[in-house]
Amino acid sequence: QRFNLGGNTSGVSGFVGDIAEIAIYKVKRTTVERIIIDNYLAAKYGQSLSANDFYNEDTSGGNFDHKVAGIGQASDGSNHSDSQGTGIVRCLTTF
């Protein structure tokens, strides 16, 4: 099966630019999962978010120092209650 990224199936009007990372998920991500993923990617690539930026202390060494992991609940009621980064700390709660 053909997979197109950055253009339509005819091959015209394609994306011109750089793509740092592609994430493909088997299921649709909830609102809260998207917020956590957006914060992770913003921290990793040194970008600022225009909304829901909960991780703004991310570039002290300029090299993605803090390894984002997150739990949360979004205004639409979606929640993510279990998270663990690269260390020994695990966040687990109920909402």
Dihedral angle computed from the Cα positions of residues 84, 24, 35 and 48, in that order, rounded to the nearest 10 degrees: 100
C-alpha dihedral sign at 62, 65, 66, 68 = positive
Domain that includes residue 37, residue range = 31-92
pLDDT given at position 66: 54
Is residue 78, in this structure, part of any structural domain at all?
A: yes
Is residue 84, in this structure, part of any structural domain at all?
A: yes
DSSP type of residue 83: E
The rounded percent of the chain whose pLDDT value lies above 90 is 0
Q: How many domains does the chain have?
A: 1
- The pTM score is 0.54
Angle at 17 between CA 16 and CA 19, to 5 degrees: 125
pLDDT given at position 45: 79
21-42 mean pLDDT:
84
